[in-house]
Amino acid sequence: MERILDFIRSEVGADTLMLDFLKELVLFESDSPGWFKERYKEAIDRFIDGWDGRK
């Protein structure tokens, strides 16, 4: 898990918001739940407002 997050971190660079979003997905997926769509959309809704798409 840490290795995955390290690699994501190196890809995301300074975009901490995207990192936090993906970290949440990684933690969510490591529990392997079957249901995901609403959870993903809900997470996107939470993160999207503060996201600067230019990064």
Partner 1 sequence: MRITKLVMRNYRQYIDCTIDFEKKARRDLHVVVGKNGVGKTNILNAINWCLYGNEPHLAKDSEGMPVGNVRVLREAGQHKKVIVSVELHICLDKSENPAFFVRNAEYRLKAGEETPVKVGEDFSYFTRDNSGNTKIYRSGEASTYVQHFVPITLREFFFFDGEQLSNYFKEATGQKISNAIFELSQVDLLNRISARMERVLSDFRKDASANSPQIDEARKKYENDKEKLDQNKEELKTCQDQIAAAKDEIKRLQDALADYPNVEAMVERRKQLDHKLEDIDKAIKMKKLEKASKLYTSSKFTMHMPAIEQSIGLIDEKIAKGEVPPPIDPSVLEGVLSKNVCKICGAKIDTAAASRIKTLLKEIRTSKKVGQAILSMNPYLHRIKEELPEIIKEIKILGKDIADKQKDHKFTFAEKEQIQKKLEGFNEEKIVAYSKDLKKYEKLRDDKTERAGFLKSIIIELERNANESKKDWDEELEKNKKSEGIRNRIRFCEKAVQITTAAKNNILNDIRAKIEIETTNYFTKLIWKKDYFGDVSLDSNYYIHLFHKMGMECLGTISAGERGLLAFAFTLAMHKISGFDSPIIIDSPVHRISDENRSNIANVFAEVGEGKQIILLFTPSEYSSEVSTVLSNKANQMMLKMDVASNSTCLESYNG
Alpha-carbon distance of 54 to 39, in angstroms, equals: 25
Please identify which residue in 14, 16, 25, 46 interacts with partner 1, judged by CB under 8 A: 25
Return the number of other C-beta atoms located less than 10 Å from residue 22's C-beta. Answer: 19
Alpha-carbon distance of 36 to 11, in angstroms, equals: 24
> Residues 5 to 24: which contact partner 1 by CB under 8 A?
7-8, 10-12, 18, 21-22
Which spans of this chain sit near partner 1 (rule: CB under 8 A)?
Answer: 1, 3-4, 7-8, 10-12, 18, 21-22, 25-26, 29-30, 36-37, 40-41, 44, 47-48, 51, 53
